[in-house]
Amino acid sequence: MSNLAPITQSHARADWDQGHHNRLEATWKGRPGFWGWFTWSHHKEIGIRYLVTALCFLLLGGILALVMRLQLARPENHLLGPDQYNQFFTMHGTTMMFLFAVPVMFEALATYFVPLMVGARNVAFPRLASFSYFLYLFGGIVLWAMFLLNAGADAGWFSYVPLSGPAFTPGHRADAWSVMVMMTEISAVCVAVEILVTVFKLRAPGMSLNRIPLFVWVETIVAFSVIFALPAVILSSLMLLLDRNFGTQFFNPAEGGDALLYQHLFWFFGHPEVYIVFLPGAGVISTLVATFSRRRPFGYLAIVLSTVSVGFLGFGVWVHHMFATGLPLLSLSFFTAASLMIAIPTGIQIFCWLATIITGKLWLATPMLWVFGFFFIFILGGLTGVMLASVPLDLQAHDTYFVVAHLHYVVIGGAVFPFFGAIEYWFPKITGRMLNEMLSSVFFWLFFVGFNLTFFPMHLVGLAGMTRRIYTYGVDRGWGELNYIETVGAFLMGLGVLFFVINLILSARRGRVAGDNPWRAGTLEWATSSPPLAYNFLYIPVVQERETIWEDEAHPERAGVVTGLRDEAREMLVTTVVDAYPDHRLLLPAPSIWPFWAAVVVCGTAICTVFQPWAFVVGSLLFGIVLIGWFWPSEEETAAQHKGEKWDNATS
Amino acid sequence: MWWATAGIMLVEGVLLAITVASYFYLASRNANWPPLDTAPPEILAGTVNLVLFLVSLAPNFWLKRVAGSGDIQKTRRALYVMILLGAATLVLRVFEFAGLNCRWDFSSYASISWLLLGLLSLQLLTDWADTVVLTIMLFGKHVRAGRFMDVAESADYWNFVVGSAAVGWVILYLIPRWL
Amino acid sequence: MRFSDISALAFSDPLSGNQSALNPTGPDATRVAHLWLIILIISIAVFALVWIALLYGIARRPGGDADPATPILDTAASDRISTRVVSIAAAITVVTLFFVLISSVVAGRLTSEPVGNQKHIAITVIGHQWWWEVQYPNTEADRTVITANEIHIPVGVPVEITTASRDVIHSFWVPNLTGKHDLTPGYNTAFWLRADRAGDYRGQCAEFCGLQHAEMGFHLIAESQAKFQAWENDQLRPGATPVTAQEQRGQQVFVRSECMMCHAIGGTIAGSRLGPDLTHLASRQTIAAATVPNNIGNLAGWVVDPQHIKPGTLMPPNELSSGDMNDLLSYLQSLK
């Protein structure tokens, strides 16, 4: 029995209560000031940090691509030498995959939107969220610092051995890469655990599993994929670090090691990785298609099961990245079958979206431009994927520009286009202002046309023999014209992105005020102000149906909110996994600077250990101390806990 | 929250599984495992350690029970036992490393064996340190009901550590003798 | 009409060139090109169908998108129809993919096996950073051809290539004839190819292998049986004995310089296998792994400063007096 007010459901749509608001605001808002900034552990702030940082990496990676395209625009060009070019393409791929794609599609969007969409005030482990962000940031800084010192990683974004091993890449280039990978991927795993617990235990009452928004389902399944896939690359990077700096023999065939072990581990991670990047894009498409067809998405169950299938099957296709390595043909054929099979659930999702659009009342708002772009580009990419799934065909196209075309069509079509659509859609929620429509349209068309100009010719030039990762090519190859066109297209894309950045900055300050729900959408993030207040919802809503807002508008008598949670402490309501019945109260820890220091210690330890093995011991001890600081309860917390429990001190 | 502990167990479990898979992969690529110039690991230290781990399950079960009941004296006593047992396993781990009969850079067999034992030892060490800290927190003004829940969860996690150690024992000590 | 003619019409020049997968001149590449065409046609059909549906959806929308319409809450009726349509579409997808799977497995089976029981040629290709060591192994050592960066095969005869690598992973790819195969240290994979038309096909390393991955090419020349035999006999001849005084001086320059630390020339004491074998250098059309044509100017430039042509290559620059250089060049050009 506790000394707190009971938790109940109130059947009135709660009126604004200024006192309640003031107390909630005081409890949930972050500490002000310079050092205060480092303590913030609220999901919206962390989400914005991820978004902004990832966008910076997108721009950096894009600039690298533009310079690469300048080098390749003409045969036998001299803008970049081989060493520089190798660093550029390694950094481009690494930045885009590890520092932009996963952080933006998973960590950023999930951290910001999942709690809002499930009706919670924060994520389950706020300090872990802060730690994860700083770990990601530091990992990216380490990698780029090395690059800017002309000692950047240069063995490809996948860093195959033996090339990246101790014999063929001296110095610490590949070590910086490995350290960054370990840090960002540990960061992603932490976020995954957090999202899973938030989705399973912190949903608003009444939001049973079959009422969870599709976007949240997708991020949950992606979180599972992250947990099962990322340890493989963490391990392969660790093994690479050990081989390079401590003399281990994991990948050295002369001492019983195996170069293909690295590839198996890397691609066991690498293929689920691309689904980790694509699936949230599909989740965004489901969201946008529903809102702008003015109906709930058709095929909710089919889409959920398809997403689960893709997540699961994604673990069974990794060898299709290794078709040329000489493994037995029969085993390779299993992977062809699995790779083709993945097209089925993906196709089902596409058919469901088409059905939603056709049977709905389509509203051609600006975010829908990106949906149509997705339909064009991603589907094209998926079809070239079917080609590549075939072993004999892949043996011709593998490691050529055909694959470069394919991967950009699926990643940009399947993730980046939905991402820009998501920004168009959710920018009003995050900032309270609408993006400028004209700038958005200009951006879209420049980007769409530029993209196709850049990447479509690559299919042709790849089949014409142009291999990947080459800094130049001979005049007599005949690839010059197509490459020139590709470079023009790339700069069109760049120009479009410039419009995008200008739009973001201008609209954040002077855009049209958006209001709570400018798109009149149905999911819970629109049931609060734009931008949401520190505590998200004045009262936690009680959910009766899937598109809560639409249902509440149609049946206002059924709407309800939760009362009885404390507003002077950071309290959240924990509900059951399947049906979201209220279960118990949870007191979240206060914002703290310890997660920041923890990330600093991890980063410092990782870097120093590369140079001096004993640094690992010292760093671990420091980490232990920081962890104690992190978990040591403060006076305030203990007092809040005491108030919330009746506990007999007689036995102490 | 129990879910946090479950999350950690899941992540570590996956990492362990992939390391074990790598072990078997490397074994499949080598005609002799361990290589002809390396003897299989000395079985004594490892087996004594395994017995210690299994025996520790009993006081661990007791710890969870008394922590659940909120009895602070019994909980502290149970924790002292677990700390002693944990320290013993850590000391034996040092002998296990020595008993591998190879330095980590001799061969891929040596490297993967050291890596597996190293990851397990890191897990053991961090859990032991955590147990020590939890014990300290059961003294003084920060004692509250939630602490007992933390101790109970830590007991659950120890079961996972024992399970991992058992898997490690089979891989490190039996597989080289069977292959 | 050959496939390459169609592609030349539809696309552009390089696709009908001597490094194009869409200009197949052997059975493997032909099978793959046909498979690609089949999947391409299926892909175009699928893309068209999806876009027809999408455009239909756009056309069907209610007029006036200025204000968002009230959401539709009861979708039961249209959902029933949608379920049927989506199920049919899914079924068609499954059948189509199954067809693609069968086609692919069949094509794969055929491309991985040698054609018939004809006698074949065995070649070993060993990858180095950044050149190809080519051997035609024979049980008798003096009937083993050792060369670099240029492969000759007779038209119509199956060739079995076995791979190895001395350093990092490379990949052997000659698009006109067959798919690529990796050269992985610790592994020796074998694959088959056959050329059905004579020609000079260019290949290139297709696995990123470091600084000069871009310039690690080779030529595979398919010729008549008679020409091939002549070439093989030439390659089996011991290293040419220098005839003129200049050539003799050139040989001395070679032997006393750093050259013999890496390069072998039959008939001399130079026997290192670190770099390409130069015994029949003058018979090759290109140097530096198909980077530049093999003529006196390029050869001179290469010997003096290889870093200028292939920055990062493992061959160091060589300072030679102009007299020594002329002698050396004259000798090298005599090595037919």
Tell me the domains of chain B and their CATH numbers. 43-178 (1.20.120.80)
Judging by beta carbons within 10 Å of its beta carbon (0-12, 13-18, 19+), is residue A242 exposed, middle or buried? buried
pLDDT reported for residue A640: 75
Number of other residues whose CB lies within 10 A of the CB of residue A495: 15
Predicted pLDDT at A15: 73
Is the CB of B107 inside 8 Å of chain A's CB atoms? Answer: yes
Bridge partners, residue B170, by sequence: none
Interval B115-133: pLDDT, tens: 999 999 999 999 999 999 9
Strands (E), chain C: 121-128, 131-136, 145-148, 150-154, 159-165, 170-172, 181-183, 190-193, 199-204, 217-223, 286-287, 292-293
Q: What's the average model confidence in pLDDT over C279-299?
A: 95
Please, which residues 12-41 of chain C have a Cβ atom closer than 8 Å to chain A? 12-15, 17, 19-22, 28-29, 31-32, 35-36, 39-40
Q: How confident is the model at residue A402 (pLDDT cuts 50, 70, 90)?
A: very high
pLDDT bin (cut points 50, 70, 90) of residue C117 is: low
**What average pLDDT score do residues B78-91 get?**
96
Give long-range contacts, CB 8 A cutoff, 24+ apart: A71-75: A71/A471, A71/A472, A72/A472, A72/A473, A72/A483, A72/A486, A72/A487, A73/A483, A73/A484, A73/A486, A73/A487, A74/A480, A74/A483, A74/A484, A75/A472, A75/A473, A75/A474, A75/A475, A75/A477, A75/A479, A75/A480, A75/A483
pLDDT at A567 over 90: no
Q: Which helix (H) or strand (E) holds A253?
A: none
Q: Where are the alpha helices (DSSP H) in A511-634?
A: 548-554, 594-611, 615-631
* pLDDT of A634 higher than 80: no
Q: Is the pLDDT of residue A652 over 50?
A: no
- Give the mutation candidate from A84, A366, A393, A485 for the C interface (greatest C CB count, under 10 A): A393
Q: Model confidence at A648, in pLDDT bands (50, 70, 90)?
A: very low
Higher pLDDT, A597 or C64: A597
| Minimum-distance CB partner of A249 among B4, B14, B108 | B108
What was the pLDDT predicted at C35? 96
Average pLDDT over residues C31-44: 96
Q: How would residue C115 be classed by pLDDT, with cut points 50, 70 and 90?
A: low
Size of interface A-C (CB pairs under 8 A): 288
What does the pLDDT look like over A50-88, one tens digit per residue? 999 999 999 999 999 999 999 999 999 999 999 999 999
What number is the average pLDDT over the span B129-140? 90
- Which of A96-100, A199-203, A288-292, A584-588 is the least confident region? A584-588
Residue A3's pLDDT is what? 58
Query: Do the beta carbons of residue C182 and residue C190 sit within 8 Å?
Result: no
Work out the pLDDT band at A12, boundaries 50, 70, 90: low
Is there a contact between C72 and A360 (Cβ–Cβ < 8 Å)? yes
Distance CA B79, CA B64 (A): 10
| Whole-number pLDDT of residue C14 | 85
Q: Is the pLDDT of residue C212 over 50?
A: yes
Q: Is the pLDDT at C65 greater than 70, yes or no?
A: no
The partner residues of A513 in beta bridges, in order of sequence, read A433
A387, containing H or E segment: helix A366-389
**Confidence band for C1, pLDDT divided at 50, 70 and 90:** very low
A touches which chains (3+ CB pairs under 8 A)?
Answer: B, C
The better pLDDT of the pair A481, A9 is held by: A481
Helical spans, DSSP H, in B29-144:
43-69, 72-98, 108-136
pLDDT (0 to 100) of residue C118: 73
Residue A647 has pLDDT above 70, yes or no: no
Phi-psi region of C188 (alpha: psi -120 to 50; beta: other; left: phi over 0): beta
What does the pLDDT look like over A73-83, one tens digit per residue?
999 999 999 99
Whether residue A84 lies within 8 A of chain C, CB to CB, comes out as: no
Burial class (CB in 10 A: 0-12, 13-18, 19+), B13: middle
- The predicted structure's pLDDT at residue B67: 92
Q: What's C140's DSSP letter?
A: S
Which domains does chain C show, CATH number per domain?
3-53+79-112 (no CATH), 121-223 (2.60.40.420), 245-333 (2.60.40.420)
pLDDT in the model for residue C328: 95
Residue A559 in this model has a pLDDT that exceeds 90: no
Quick check: bond before C68 cis, omega within 30? no
Measured between alpha carbons, how far is A361 from A359 in angstroms, rounded to an integer?
Answer: 7
Specify the 3-state DSSP secondary structure of A330: helix
Residue matched to tokens 């201008």:
A506
Q: How far is CA C45 from the centre of its chain?
A: 32
Question: Nearest 5°: phi and psi at C293?
Answer: -65, 150
Chain A residue with Cα closest to B147:
A633
Checking C224-231 for CB contacts under 8 A at 24+ apart, the result is C224/C154, C224/C155, C224/C198, C225/C154, C225/C155, C225/C157, C228/C152, C228/C153, C228/C154, C229/C154, C231/C152, C231/C283
pLDDT score of A122: 95
Q: Cβ of A355 and C97 within 8 Å?
A: no
Beta carbons of A204 and A525 less than 8 angstroms apart: no
CB atoms within 10 A of CB C63: 5
pLDDT at residue C307 tops 70: yes
Under 8 Å between Cβ of A162 and C165: no
Mean per-residue pLDDT, C230-258: 93
Q: How confident is the model at residue A1, as a pLDDT?
A: 44
User: By the 8 A CB rule, do A345 and A307 touch?
Assistant: yes
Give me the percent of chain C exceeding a pLDDT of 90.
Answer: 82
Q: Is B82 exposed, middle or buried (CB count within 10 Å of its CB: 0-12, 13-18, 19+)?
A: buried
Contact status, residue B75 vs residue B151, Cβ threshold 8 Å: yes
Q: Provide mean pLDDT across the span B93-107.
A: 95
- Six-digit token pair at A605? 């330890």
- With cut-offs at 50, 70 and 90, classify the pLDDT of residue A649: very low
CB contact under 8 A, C214 and A470: yes
Confidence of residue A145 (pLDDT cuts 50, 70, 90): very high
Answer whether A470 touches C (CB < 8 Å): yes
* Average pLDDT of every residue of chain B: 93
Of the listed ranges A94-98, B5-9, C139-143, the one predicted with least confidence: C139-143
Tell me the chain A residues in contact with residue C108 when contact means C-beta distances shorter than 8 Å: 329, 332-333, 336, 390-392
Helices (H) and strands (E) in chain A, counts: 23, 5
Say whether A248 and B145 touch across the interface (CB within 8 A): no
Helix axes C27-59, C76-112, angle to 10 degrees: 170
In this predicted model, what pLDDT tens digit does every residue of A195-226 receive, in sequence order?
Answer: 999 999 999 999 999 999 999 999 999 999 99
Of A256, A264, A633, the CB nearest to B109: A256
Residue-level pLDDT at A16: 83
Residue A329: its chain C contacts at CB < 8 A? 108-109, 112
Neighbours of chain C (3+ CB pairs under 8 A): A
Q: What was the ipTM of the complex prediction?
A: 0.95
> Comparing A613 with C213, which gets the higher pLDDT?
C213
Most confident listed range (A272-281, B135-144, B148-157) = A272-281
**pLDDT tens column, B27-50:** 999 999 999 999 999 999 999 999
Say if residue B157 is exposed, middle or buried (CB neighbours under 10 Å; 0-12, 13-18, 19+): buried
| Angstrom distance (rounded) from CA C303 to CA C318 | 6
Q: Which two three-digit tokens encode residue A508?
A: 């954040």
B144 neighbourhood in chain A, CB within 8 Å: 633, 638, 641-642, 645, 647
What is the four-CA torsion angle of A413, A417, A418, A422, rounded to 10 degrees? 170
Question: Is B111 within 8 Å of A248 when comparing Cβ atoms?
Answer: yes
